[in-house]
Amino acid sequence: MVFPEHQQLQPEDLLRFIAQQQEQIIQLKEQIELLEAEIRRLKKLPAKPDIKPNTKPPDDDSGSSDGAPSAPDGDDGASPETSSKQKVKKPNEKTRKQRKQARKPLVEKSIPIAATDVPQGSIRNGTTPFYVQELTIQTFSIEYLLEQWVTPDGQTITAKPPASLHGHHYGPMLQAYVLQQYHGCSVTQPELLDWLWDIGISISSGELSQLLTKGHEQFHAEKDELLTTGIRCSSYIQTDDTGTRHKGKNGYCTIINNGPLSGSRAQSAKAGKIS
């Protein structure tokens, strides 16, 4: 509908014109959707997903406020899909517990602090505790005097260092700290080396690399026993395998798991032996 410029428009004509424009817009939208669907089909693209709009869940008192009859007991009027999504699983013994804050350590030192600007004539009312937690990082060296003996045939027998050192020149606490920072906190080796230098540890990058890679036979033995122990203690297991590359060769990765157990092993496609 086209109106002349000199013609005075009436409200009825404007409403009729708006209604016609709305119908044309709806027709154009439908035509655009058909053309877009045809383009996707020709280009072999996935169809447009049918995404339903979000709906607000009904309130408990919505029926009484609007005057509409409320739903009977045990049925909130929602569809089975909506009601199942709104259900929250209760925690059980398999639910992972959140880590709680550690307890405060025992007080090892008490330092009295005198009040200042106390007016004359005031009465002392005891003390009030103000607890502070502190961390002490101290480096020190231990000298092990290894006893030596010379046998009658001229051989020298030297005592061995403690087994807890694992052949390193660094104590077990320092070794545990390095492993925890590297594997547990994802601290890179250069950053860990800088931190050790900052606190006064004399260590090279090569020695730090040996601390991270050498002398961990007990950890590897424990890891190798996990799968066998888990299978022995499980009432059922599930297995699956997939193709993978292992040591530059095609092979298989076998997965064994159930509820609390999960393990994987890479094996050769020819020999069929777990490596």
**What tens digit of pLDDT does each residue of 31-72 get?**
998 998 889 888 888 877 777 877 776 665 544 444 444 444
Which pLDDT score is estimated for 142? 93
What is d(CA 216, CA 237) in angstroms, rounded to the nearest whole number? 29
In which residue are the tokens 């007016």 written? 119
Q: Does residue 188 register a pLDDT over 60?
A: yes
Residues 126-135 pLDDT 10s: 999 999 988 8
252 touches 243 (CB < 8 A): yes
Closest among 208, 121, 215, 203 to 164, alpha carbons compared: 215
Which pLDDT score is estimated for 175? 92
Which pLDDT score is estimated for 274? 43
Q: Does residue 273 register a pLDDT over 50?
A: no
Which pLDDT score is estimated for 203? 93
Residues 241-268 pLDDT 10s: 888 877 778 888 888 878 777 777 777 7
Provide the percentage of residues in the chain whose pLDDT is more than 70.
79
Mean pLDDT score across all residues of the chain:
80
- Of 100-109, 197-206, 215-224, 250-259, the range with the highest mean pLDDT is 197-206
In which residue are the tokens 């053309």 written? 35
More confident residue, 5 or 178: 178
Residue 142: HSE in the Cβ half-sphere, 13 Å Cα cutoff: 13
Closest among 185, 144, 138, 186 to 165, alpha carbons compared: 144
178 touches 211 (CB < 8 A): yes
What is d(CA 177, CA 138) in angstroms, rounded to the nearest whole number? 13
